[in-house]
Structure 1
């Protein structure tokens, strides 16, 4: 492994609007590159510009804590810090990959987040997060912590092939149980399922049964992107080692989409399987609103809830009109409560969404949302 130390100019990346998948207004990567070396990781793709050999070489932003301190200090900001969670991890690194035990950038960042009373969402595959449970509990007392564990399967043998250096699925599940015992909201991102391997009904069912056994607060599902070039070449080499016959199957669903997406028919197929299995367990398919309600003002809360509802309606029925209303409400420059009797003047708000918005304003939730969640 090669380690490159780098002086970062900035750490926090501000999103245009709150991401309803992760509830984040900001995200940050303290490292670039990931030694978990998952065969399917799209961080390997050329457009991420990760230095060195992905899967072994790591870039360390050694001054990240000092930069984060400056960025979170309200005395250094002309505009108030946006509401929403700070997402740590994902993308091109795992914030708890083994090198964190040496540099401790994540723990130092969490100390600063605690100091400024910010909510944080951590996405990881590693049980190294257990080192920081004490700190996460302290942050959770005054703000909010969400921890999400990424899985492609709970099958130990498959994981050893496609996630060779990651914490085993069983260890991840045990860490979820420990975090839940400490009162920390914790769930699973079943992303990605690996086509023709872990997207089978019995394999998705295994993940649901495991999630229920450890008390996961949510289980979020997604397919696998496979971008042409370095990512696809690496994955196909690993796939050939596993089962060379599958290469032909992959060529039928991956057709050089710019974003690496499979054909729509495949997404429809796996989403249908996911939906049918999810109905047996009633584990939320998005981070449920009770987890983030107290962290957002009314406009942002309604916007996020509607965006989640947009996904849920599309998953169940194929079409939804809630997405545009969500975007418009997020962009409002005045409190939505001032428009209580004129909601239809908001772009995208029709009779059904008006009804849902008023229900949220009155009760804090929506029965339709709760039913589909």
Structure 2
């Protein structure tokens, strides 16, 4: 894939409030677009993708811009967790050569900010040295200092752990087993690690049986927590997530197409009764396996 190099004026986005799930107060994405090509990606067709050019772009001046922004935040002591990977995986194939994420981690370490890094990639193992330094020296906001007591949270994203289903909906991403093995290695290195089962796939990976098995596997691979969330689907253009996802169902699981379409009829998200049931299952399976359904 051709990677377009772009320059930006800002890379750090500040939330008004700390996120209740991922605990971050800042987000940043070194890349625009994503070469993992997950069909359900919420960016495609949503407001978050309105200004994202087609293909893959790297914010080539991101480290310099971040240096200025974090220097200012640190001077004001506005410490908060930075989420890397909220919209685009920070460890895409291009990162192996470009090393933009690694340079960004150096800046984060320089100014002692904590980080929550979400990925599907094995390439994160390259940066264990930097992540350990951040973990040991980051300054946490006062409301997290006594609860978290570390500067790095490492999350791995899954929609399913069935290898064949993953190949359909996450065609260019590392396999679920590769992610699990990477998570286990990072746990052995002493990190706080977990799995974000987001989005679970309606009628494919959202049943109590399937979720119980996934939580069990996460625990067996050293996971400290799981976060479980439902799917959102957006847009009506050929490259939008709703169209791409329904096309994949038609081709591979035609028996599920009608009831999945009904679930998202006239909406971008499943109805409240579905979400309530998913939450109830989450509590049940996490209790069964002794797993936290939150980071802290």
TM-score exceeds 0.5? yes
**Partner residue in 1 for 2:147:** none
**Partner residue in 2 for 1:273:** 281
Flag the structure with larger Rg. Answer: 1
CA distance in 1, matches of 2:209, 2:51: 35
Aligned-residue offset at 1:4:
1.6
**Partner residue in 1 for 2:56:** 58
Aligned partner (choices 66, 87, 99) of residue 104 of structure 1:
99
Aligned ranges 1:182-221 → 2 under 5 Å: 182-221=189-228
- Contact conserved, 1:96 with 1:106, CA < 8 A, in 2? yes
Moved more, 38-47 or 163-172: 38-47
**Partner residue in 2 for 1:286:** 294
The unaligned stretches of length 5 or more in structure 1 are 289-373
Aligned ranges 1:56-95 → 2 under 5 Å: 57-74=55-72, 80-91=76-87, 93-95=88-90
Moved more, 39-48 or 168-177: 39-48
Aligned ranges 1:108-257 → 2 under 5 Å: 108-143=103-138, 144-229=151-236, 230-257=240-267
- Contact conserved, 1:30 with 1:61, CA < 8 A, in 2? yes
- Contact conserved, 2:63 with 2:103, CA < 8 A, in 1? yes
CA distance in 2, matches of 1:197, 1:78: 45
CA distance in 2, matches of 1:106, 1:239: 34
CA distance in 2, matches of 1:8, 1:45: 23
CA distance in 1, matches of 2:232, 2:166: 18
- Structure 1 runs (4+) deviating above 3 angstroms are 50-53
CA distance in 2, matches of 1:228, 1:256: 11
CA distance in 1, matches of 2:264, 2:127: 40
CA distance in 2, matches of 1:286, 1:160: 28
Larger RCO, structures 1/2 (Cα 8 Å, 6+ apart): 2
CA distance in 2, matches of 1:51, 1:120: 24
The unaligned stretches of length 5 or more in structure 2 are 139-150
Helix, strand or coil for the counterpart of 2:57? strand
Helix, strand or coil for the counterpart of 1:121? strand
- Contact conserved, 1:32 with 1:50, CA < 8 A, in 2? no
Aligned-residue offset at 1:256:
2.1
Helix, strand or coil for the counterpart of 1:9? coil
CA distance in 2, matches of 1:104, 1:236: 35
- Contact conserved, 2:246 with 2:261, CA < 8 A, in 1? no
Aligned-residue offset at 1:242:
1.4
Helix, strand or coil for the counterpart of 2:107? helix
CA RMSD of aligned residues (A): 1.5
More helix by share: 1
Aligned-residue offset at 1:247:
1.4
TM-score (norm 1): 0.72
Q: Deviations over 1:135-179 (max 9, x none)?
A: 111211212111111111111111111111111111111111111
Helix, strand or coil for the counterpart of 1:212? helix
